Structure 1
């Protein structure tokens, strides 16, 4: 028998099982790869549809555009990771270690950025619950000013003396927030003191005429003018007119000045702290 023919026959016999194995493995892993690709493409498509749906829903509810973009991107990223893990599972690739690494990385990032995450959470809460809006004058985190911008991490305010303040959101929500002009009106609280020798009725009439003459002062609610205290050296009146929030400081300053001028013109004294100094001559024996 020809030697070459024998070698060729043996090679064919050895190659046949190998080819069968390759074919079997190709069919098996081909199906897995195809399944993984189907999961990947369909999952990514579903993730995009969910992202668009969330954006439309938040826009209908008039959610802040900055928050819409951030939440939609965060949700889309989380869904992408889920789809990739599902596709890897289709290939029989163990994703336990991968998920553990992601969890550890997330924990490390969370610890490193815990301050920023707290500011982010506070910003989300402010945008959702709206304790104040742009243009409101607030007193929060030890600062007072007009709100210029409510961001994801910080709130920007302008002080009455035209300074720009950038306050972390966590500091804003971490204490009491006083929204000064929510209701559109404010009460001006003043104290006017007269001497014990002055006529109380006359002083009260003067105060009432001052309040009645100012058109910025509201008739409803009615202003309050009453004796509030018999102090050490004065009889104190409380003067509490109501005005629009925009007129608050103008009414406050003008009324204070007018009270002084009218009391002087009417001969009503305004007591001030005084000290009597007594000198004694000491004679040596």
Structure 2
């Protein structure tokens, strides 16, 4: 370090030509330097103004806080790099080499971090187009749960059994995602099995009474309900109940419990899976020759 300091001192103070060249350049570019500084400070103000306008627009569009912060930072740094290049160009420094250097650097980083950049771009698309938000209940692949947060590289999902699953954002943009919270209302499909010996008209009326008693069912008066199919062991009755999204599971569990009580009260059977087994009896006469042959074989061996 001492040798380096000595060399720098010798270059700056012993070689007067360096100082003279710097002085001549400074005075010749004084106007451009002043203009570059003005451009920089005015540009910084304009960048903050644009950033503020973008945040206001995103707030009106009800973007998530994470999306607003992410997009705001990207706007700031992209515009800042452009502003620096404009200021450097004002000083007479050719910016072609800088652009080429940035391009080469970006290409190298892109090749090295291809998957990460894909996740980053996918995260930006999720935040911008909002197929789901933090707090929504979604399903992707074998994972189902509530969205905890949307990060730059991953989306964090909390399952019903309190597991935190980190899914790369690129998988969320390239695979089907089911959003259970997006709509304000949902349809619950109920399937009820009754025995073939039961009166299905009575069973359907009992079901209508159960749904009518549940005030959270929104379409109890005009619900679609009827025999859905004839199963191997039962008559299957289907019903489509419309509820608010937030009431989905509460209504589901309440209806299932109330239907079981109502079926028990009206002696309507919920059949078990059944199999009919036919046992074929073999005639004794057809067995006797085999038994005699077996006896004969034993006598020969003895």
Q: Which residue of 1 aligns with 2:153?
A: 153
CA apart distance, 1:195? 2.1
On the 8 A contact 2:220/2:241 being kept in 1, the answer is: no
Within 5 Å, give how 1:67-216 maps onto structure 2.
Answer: 67-83=70-86, 85-87=88-90, 90-91=92-93, 96-140=96-140, 142-216=142-216
Q: Which residue of 1 aligns with 2:50?
A: 54
Aligned residues: CA RMSD: 3.0
What's the secondary structure of 1:147's corresponding residue? Answer: strand
On the 8 A contact 1:123/1:153 being kept in 2, the answer is: yes
Higher mean C-alpha displacement, 33-42 vs 124-133: 33-42
Paired with 2:96 and 2:54, the residues of 1 have a C-alpha distance of 34
What's the secondary structure of 1:208's corresponding residue? Answer: helix
Q: Deviations over 1:125-154 (max 9, x none)?
A: 222222233322222354322223233333
Q: Which residue of 2 aligns with 1:17?
A: none
On the 8 A contact 2:193/2:271 being kept in 1, the answer is: yes
CA apart distance, 1:181? 2.2
Paired with 1:110 and 1:50, the residues of 2 have a C-alpha distance of 30
| Number of aligned residues | 261
- Show structure 1 runs of 5+ residues with no match: 1-20
On the 8 A contact 2:193/2:234 being kept in 1, the answer is: yes
1:66 to 69, 73, 84: 69
Q: Deviations over 1:70-112 (max 9, x none)?
A: 2134224422551364156x15xx5544433322111010122
Q: Which residue of 2 aligns with 1:37?
A: 33
CA apart distance, 1:30? 4.2
> Could you say if the C-alpha distance between residues 269 and 242 of structure 1 is closer, same or farther in structure 2, counting changes exceeding 3 Å?
same
Please list every run of at least 4 consecutive aligned residues from structure 1 whose deviation after the TM superposition is greater than 4 angstroms. Answer: 24-28, 94-98
- Show structure 2 runs of 5+ residues with no match: 1-16, 290-302
Q: Which residue of 2 aligns with 1:14?
A: none
TM-score (norm 2): 0.74
Paired with 1:69 and 1:197, the residues of 2 have a C-alpha distance of 67
TM-score (norm 1): 0.78
> Could you say if the C-alpha distance between residues 66 and 220 of structure 1 is closer, same or farther in structure 2, counting changes exceeding 3 Å?
farther
CA apart distance, 1:53? 1.9
CA apart distance, 1:55? 1.2
